[in-house]
Structure 1
């Protein structure tokens, strides 16, 4: 009997934005939260798309089996290129194994900070 794996292999997050300023103690940030419920290690390729410039493609991230990983978007880098602050972007996550992808944003640009989290769109 085949074993069903948890998750999908292709996810999209259409709204990303790293604010240039933060207030208070906590820094504004965004994270791609990935859960690998399966036994096999997952190899991710992350693509970042912009409105007015070429994408940053094939950023590689590995996640061991039966683990979770929180990937700060401000730390993603490919060949020295990073996501700039104050620029809208979108995210595509592709994986060789099914995973679950959630997107979280902590906005501390005002004293009354906001936390938003949502499941990414599985393709």
Structure 2
């Protein structure tokens, strides 16, 4: 069965922040940022992320492959190459792919015992 190609090849997340500490056992309740990436197409998508900061030069690319007709929930906390994503520092992200993808952004903030979960769609660049 042939999948539909949906989405865009460039996405922007203007808001990003990993709290410096958490209130709960990792990994389930560790504060984190996640890019949920959907590749509904028939070919793997080669995805790169570049992070932008207020006080320093951009960092990237971070690379991930999303298989055909698959999804990846990419925790920014787990990114380490070319360097770990700093905690307690605001950042923005540009996500580029060689295939159309859909990107959603989620944050779990567990600094309080009452956890907060926030999610939003990324901005597709045309």
TM-score range, shorter chain: over 0.9
* 1:4-23 to 2 correspondences below 5 Å: 5-23=5-23
Q: 1:44 corresponds to which residue?
A: 47
Say which SS state the counterpart of residue 78 (structure 1) adopts: coil
* Partner SS, residue 77 of structure 2: helix
Aligned ranges 1:1-123 → 2 under 5 Å: 5-25=5-25, 26-79=29-82, 81-123=83-125
TM-score of the pair, normalised by structure 1: 0.92
Deviation at 1:23, TM superposition (A): 1.0
Distance 2:93 2:7 in 1: 17
Structure 1 gap ranges (5+): none
Unpaired runs of 5+ residues, structure 2, are none
Q: Distance in 2 between matches of 1:58 and 1:22?
A: 27
Q: How many residues end up aligned between the 2 structures? A: 120
